A and B are shown apart, each in its own frame.
Chain A
Amino acid sequence: MSKKEHQQFFQDIIDQHKGILYKVARIYCQNEEDRQDLIQEMMIQIWQSIHKYNSQFKISTWIYRISLNVAISYYRKSKTITSNQSFLEDQSAQQLSDDKTEREQQLNLLEQFVSELREIDKALMLLYLEDKSYNEIAEVLGMSVSNVGTKIGRIKDKLKIRFSQINQSYHGRN
């Protein structure tokens, strides 16, 4: 591949799949500045890894691998913990008290729940919510399809409890 083709391939990948980078950055970084740094780091890694791309994998699988690996490594290097639980809880309480539609509240709760998950659980949940097949999730994470199912089931159970607890306290107040 010539340098020009290499550049064009990179540009096409980013144009078509930049949404993946933004979604990954959103769940791993609360702060906008960190998020932009993380997206740039993901792009650099994609650029430097193009020669390793194996066409037996879907391009989205390959991009999810790179972006999630970079995001989890970035979390390890960062000085502050990205998901600040008490801040989120305050924010959530505020949001619940505001006059918002139930859907918006649920949306905030879901985002909050995902941001509070541990690093690899976050990756798994993101792929699940993005409607990826269990096969593709297994390929991105490097685990068996049956383990993917078991893990997703457990996280969904936690989510269910969380939603019911917060909904109960919300309806209890009104």
Chain B
Amino acid sequence: MDEIKLKELWQATNEKLEQSQNDSKQQTDDITHLKVQNFISSIKPIKIFTILVGVGWVFILGTVVLNLFVYAFDTASPFFLFSAAIQVILTAIALVIYIYQLITIYQIDITEPILKTQQKIANLQLTTLWITRVLMLQLPVWTTFYWNVSMIEHGNWVLIIIQGIVTLSFAIAAIWLFININYGNKDKKWFRLIFKGKEWTPLMKSMELLEQIDEYHNVAKS
């Protein structure tokens, strides 16, 4: 089918479409008079809420840990102290990434060319991977905060060995996931298993889209 015939054919679909177009006057009036939510601003409230909860958590736990470090370092359990400190620091890093996402959302300009805007939005979605990676590093500290010195000195060795194996496994898994959760592994089975489900759909679609954008940027080379 040649070019002219193809375009003529497409024009025929447009004729069908024109017949079905409604009067847009009512719709435009509504838009100019109402404060409506849209798809970009709809992302913001949930992010703001998450940041507020995160800031609250880091502030409260951070204050407790800091006080223990300053005033009760000799008496408090060092396992709890260091586990909680690592947890607070990692949550604070995840919060910084969240705040970066929020700032970037405000900078997206929908009137810019498609490839540029879509690349920005997709990269923004991909920073969610960084949040996941950082939070994964918290895994081992959830298995150490309840340890204490007396448990090591007087505890049952079998239980201590089991506890050690659990913590070591969590530590290895956390480091492995931190290194391997990245865009390059998006097609691996384990990656798709972790990021399966509705809540990850925008992230997975962003990766597909980035692949398309890369193809467009490299079209001359391929």
Residues facing A in B124-179 (CB within 8 A) are: 125
User: Looking across the interface, which residue of chain B has its beta carbon closest to that of A151?
Assistant: B219
Residues facing B in A55-88 (CB within 8 A) are: 62, 65-66, 68-70, 72-77, 79
Distance in angstroms from B19 CB to nearest chain A CB is 11
Q: Which chain B residues border A134 with CB–CB below 8 Å?
A: none
Chain B interface residue count, CB cutoff 8 Å, equals 49
The reply to whether A163 and B113 contact each other, CB–CB distance below 8 Å, is: no
The reply to whether A52 and B109 contact each other, CB–CB distance below 8 Å, is: yes
Complex Cα spacing A44 to B32, Å = 8
Q: Which chain B residues border A44 with CB–CB below 8 Å?
A: 31, 36, 38
User: Looking across the interface, which residue of chain A has its beta carbon closest to that of B201?
Assistant: A79
Q: Chain A interface residue count: which class?
A: 35 or more
- Interface status of A119 (Cβ within 8 A of chain B): yes
Select one of A14, A23, A79 contacting B28, CB under 8 A: A14
The reply to whether A129 and B7 contact each other, CB–CB distance below 8 Å, is: yes
Residues facing A in B111-128 (CB within 8 A) are: 111-118, 121-122, 125
User: Looking across the interface, which residue of chain A has its beta carbon closest to that of B1?
Assistant: A163
Distance in angstroms from B176 CB to nearest chain A CB is 29
- Bitwise, B86-115 to A at CB < 8 A (1) or not (0) is 000000000000000000000001111111
User: Looking across the interface, which residue of chain B has its beta carbon closest to that of A164?
Assistant: B1
- Bitwise, A73-106 to B at CB < 8 A (1) or not (0) is 1111101000000000000000000000001001
The reply to whether B114 and A69 contact each other, CB–CB distance below 8 Å, is: yes
The reply to whether A69 and B118 contact each other, CB–CB distance below 8 Å, is: yes
Select one of A118, A142, A146 contacting B114, CB under 8 A: A142
Interface residues of A, Cβ cutoff 8 Å to B: 6-7, 10-11, 14-15, 18-19, 22-23, 26, 39-41, 43-45, 47-49, 52-53, 62, 65-66, 68-70, 72-77, 79, 103, 106-107, 110-111, 118-121, 123, 129-131, 139-144, 146-147, 150-151, 156, 159-160, 163
Interface residues of B, Cβ cutoff 8 Å to A: 1, 3, 6-7, 9-10, 12-14, 17-18, 20-21, 24-25, 27-28, 31-32, 36, 38-40, 109-118, 121-122, 125, 198, 201-202, 205-206, 208-209, 212-213, 216-217, 219-220
